[in-house]
Structure 1
Amino acid sequence: MTDLSMPDEDLLFDLAELFKIFGDSTRIKILFALLGRELAVSDLADSLGMTQSAISHQLRVLKTNGLVRYRREGKSLIYALSDEHVSKILNMGLEHIEE
C-alpha cells in the first residue's frame, strides 16, 4: 500500500467546500443536464421544470466555484460544464451509489 501524506489544511478545506456544492439536488440536476452539451438558461429551466430565476441563481453558484462556464450568444448566455473533471466526478458518484 502506498503511503500518502495528508494534504495541507487549506487544500482539505477547499475540497470540503467543493463537495458542499455537490450537496444540492438542484445543482446536480443542472450539472447532469449539461453533461455533453451546452444549454441556455431558458432551456435548462424548461427541461428541469424550474424558473429561470432559480436556474440563474444555481448557475451563479456553480460558475463561482468553477464547475460551469458560459459564452454569450446574442442576448443569451449558453452554459456548459467547465471541464472533463466535472463529468468524471458526476459519473464516479453515480457509479458509487449504484453499486
Structure 2
Amino acid sequence: MLKHLTQISDENTAVLADMFKLLGDPSRLKIVMALLDGPVSVGAIAERLKLSPSLVSHHLRLLRAARLADHERRGRQMLYSVHDHHIRCVIEDMVEHVTESGESGE
C-alpha cells in the first residue's frame, strides 16, 4: 500500500491537500463529524453546533464541491451526509488517533 501512496500524481496530491485544508477549519470539521450520524438537515446541524444556518450552508457548499459531503432531497428538505465510507474512515481514524491514551514514543 505504501508504494501506491508514493505514486500519487501531483494533481491528486494538490486535490488531497485542498481537502485537508478544508478540514483544517474547526467549523467545517465539526460539520463533517455531524454528518457521520447520517442524513441531517442544515437547521439541525446549525442548532447542534450553535452556528448560523447560512454559515452551515456555505461550509456545506465547499464540502460538497470537494466531495467530502453529499446531499439528497426528501420532500421539501435537503439532507446532508458524508460522501462515502472513505471520508468516514479518515475522520473516525483521526478522532481515534487524537483521543487514544498515549502510548506514543515521545
* Letter paired with 1:40: S
- Please list, as runs of the form range in 1=range in 2, the aligned pairs for 1:31-50 lying within 5 A after superposition: 31-50=32-51
Deviation of the 1:61 alpha carbon: 0.5
Question: For residues 3 and 90 of structure 1, do their structure 2 counterparts lie closer, same or farther at Cα, with a shift above 3 Å needed?
Answer: closer
Deviations 1:13-54 (A, max 9, x none): 111111111111101111111113111111111111111101
Which aligned runs of 4 or more in structure 1 are off by greater than 4 angstroms? none
Aligned to 1:85: 86
Q: Secondary structure at the match of 2:80?
A: strand
RMSD: 1.7
Structure 1 stretch displaced more, 8-17 or 52-61 = 8-17
Whether 1:53 aligns to 2:42 is no
Structure 1 stretch displaced more, 87-96 or 57-66 = 87-96
* TM-score normalised by structure 2 residue count: 0.82
Deviation of the 1:3 alpha carbon: 7.2
Deviation of the 1:75 alpha carbon: 2.2
Aligned to 2:76: 75
Structure 1 portions without partners, runs of 5+:
none
* Equivalent residues, number: 98
In structure 1, how many angstroms separate the alpha carbons of the residues matched to 2:35 and 2:78? 13
Deviations 1:46-67 (A, max 9, x none): 1111111010000000001101
* Letter paired with 2:27: T
Percent of counterpart pairs with the same letter?
30
